[in-house]
Structure 1
């Protein structure tokens, strides 16, 4: 029988979010219904609200979530009712050319639930990133559920579902940071600070955090930065070189996603170093670099999609690092809130006053 649950919906561009009763259908083949425990408030949810991702309103917001599987559909074998799971927005197909090459983290045919959740009048909802977890229950593809042990704080573990995974993965997976290397991270919001934590987890010995906000730089120090640079006060390229013996960093991660910061990352790396772009640019942005400089500096220029993660591989590993005290996910949880406080959380996020507000249901 379909479920009637409370959920946070935005009905038109830039309108305030509202709490609505929505209908969540029973799961079909390959689907699961998940009782949501926690869901982080991410910039991507704000982008949906502002029309920055599309105009398929109404949107059911929320995607950085943990929950408990309450129903499974036909053919679902990888999860069972009662499993604690982190939700992800890239259920791999197992059949496309990336999956066939043994690189499912680059799957070109990721998918979500086939059925639609709806408002009570039957209007179909567009779930944020195919999840829609600012809700008491949500419907997802079973492949969007990654089982984890239930002895860790769900509010902390759930942040691996998006922003924290994007940052950690930019360092570990895309940047392939190795023990003893130097890393610089430009932009110390949630994703950037997660990249700092990822660099430390990978064994980097010099980690330079760059931002224009002193408070964010202090947070970065707490999560592994060995050097901080306030780019309002000094040239970040020169500061990164100074911190790395005059050479530049082995890996520079741009967690802002602007032409200005990308150029800083490009010139702040050592010869044959790696640049990783994990900050998301807007459509009108364009980059101009001398082609001779691209050739002459060698190395690689990479983009990181979702931290190039494979949830089935990376989520349990990172939860274990959290349990062992090597990854401080608790530091990313700035506050715990209810469904009715999401507008306030968006405002705090816009001011840079929080790393993550987490909704607890």
Structure 2
């Protein structure tokens, strides 16, 4: 029988979110109903609210979540009621050309739930990243549920569902940061700080944090940055080169998603170095670079979707590192809030006052 729960909905572009009654159907074949315990407030949710992703309003926001499986549909074997899971938005199909080549993190046919959650009047909702977890319960494809050690706090576990995984994976999986490398991270919000943590885990010798906000640079130092650059006061390209013997960094991670910061990343890398774009641009943005410079500098220009992660591999590993005291996921949580505080959390996000607000149910 379908259930009624509370959820945070964005009804129109730029309009404040509202707390609505949501109808959640029973899981069908391949689906799972998850009782949400915690969900981070991610900048991507704000992108949805502002129409920066698409215009499929109304959106059921929230996607950076952890909770307990309540029921599953026919044919689900990998998770069962009672399992503690982190939700992911890249449920791989196992059958597409990427999966068949042994590269499931590039899966071209990822799964979401077939059934739609709705408002009371029957209006179908678009769940953010196929999840919609600013709700007491949500319906997802069972492949979006990744079991992890249930002793971890849901408030920190859920962060792997998007931002923290995106940043750590941008460094380790996409950037292939190695021992002794120099790394620069442009943009020190949640994703950028996670990239700093990932570079530290990978053994980088020099980690340069770049931002226009000194508060964020102080946080970046606590996360593991060895040097900081305020790009409002200093040319970041020259500063990064100056800190790397005039050469530029081996890996530059762009965690802003803007053409001007991407150009900085491009010119701040060493010859044959790597640029990783993990910041999310908006549809109207355009990038111009001299093609001769693209050719002449060599190396690699990469985009990192979800940190090129494989949730079944990466989530349990990172949770284990956290429980062993080797990865402080709690450092990303600035505050815990109630479900009806999401709009206020967006305001604090814009002002740079928080690294992560986390809704705890």
TM-score computed with the length of structure 2 as normaliser: 0.98
1:7 deviates by 1.1
Tell me if 1:199 matches 2:199: yes
**Corresponding residue for 2:214?**
214
- Paired residue total: 361
Cα distance in 2 for residues equivalent to 1:245 and 1:328: 31
- Matched residue SS, 2:240: helix
1:332 deviates by 0.7
**Corresponding residue for 1:15?**
15
Cα distance in 2 for residues equivalent to 1:102 and 1:223: 33
1:55 deviates by 1.9
**Corresponding residue for 1:31?**
31
**Corresponding residue for 1:262?**
262
Tell me if 1:109 matches 2:109: yes
Please list the CA deviations of residues 137-192 of structure 1 after superposition, one character each: whole Å capped at 9, or x if unmatched.
10000000000011111111101101111111110010000111110001111111
1:93-242 mapped onto 2 (5 Å cutoff): 93-242=93-242
1:28 deviates by 0.5
**Corresponding residue for 1:288?**
288
**Corresponding residue for 2:327?**
327
**Corresponding residue for 1:67?**
67
Q: Flag structure 2 segments of 5+ consecutive residues without an equivalent.
A: none
1:262 deviates by 1.2
Alignment check: 8 A CA contact 2:65 2:87 kept = yes
Cα distance in 2 for residues equivalent to 1:188 and 1:14: 25
TM-score computed with the length of structure 1 as normaliser: 0.98
Cα distance in 1 for residues equivalent to 2:51 and 2:260: 25
Alignment check: 8 A CA contact 2:52 2:283 kept = no
1:91 deviates by 0.7
1:355 deviates by 0.9
Please list the CA deviations of residues 290-346 of structure 1 after superposition, one character each: whole Å capped at 9, or x if unmatched.
222222211111111111111111111111111122221111101000011111001
1:121 deviates by 1.8
Cα distance in 2 for residues equivalent to 1:281 and 1:210: 18
Cα distance in 2 for residues equivalent to 1:327 and 1:267: 31
- Matched residue SS, 1:238: helix
- Matched residue SS, 1:7: strand
- Matched residue SS, 2:288: coil
Cα distance in 2 for residues equivalent to 1:232 and 1:49: 28
Please list the CA deviations of residues 79-112 of structure 1 after superposition, one character each: whole Å capped at 9, or x if unmatched.
1110000001111111000001000000000010
Cα distance in 1 for residues equivalent to 2:111 and 2:324: 33
Cα distance in 2 for residues equivalent to 1:158 and 1:301: 29
**Corresponding residue for 1:54?**
54
**Corresponding residue for 2:303?**
303
Alignment check: 8 A CA contact 2:53 2:283 kept = no
Cα distance in 2 for residues equivalent to 1:231 and 1:123: 46
1:285 deviates by 2.0
After TM superposition, the structure 1 stretch with the greater mean CA deviation from structure 2, 198-207 or 322-331, is 322-331
- Matched residue SS, 2:62: coil
Tell me if 1:249 matches 2:249: yes
**Corresponding residue for 1:76?**
76
Cα distance in 2 for residues equivalent to 1:8 and 1:260: 33
Cα distance in 1 for residues equivalent to 2:346 and 2:186: 23
Please list the CA deviations of residues 202-221 of structure 1 after superposition, one character each: whole Å capped at 9, or x if unmatched.
11010000001001001000
**Corresponding residue for 1:43?**
43
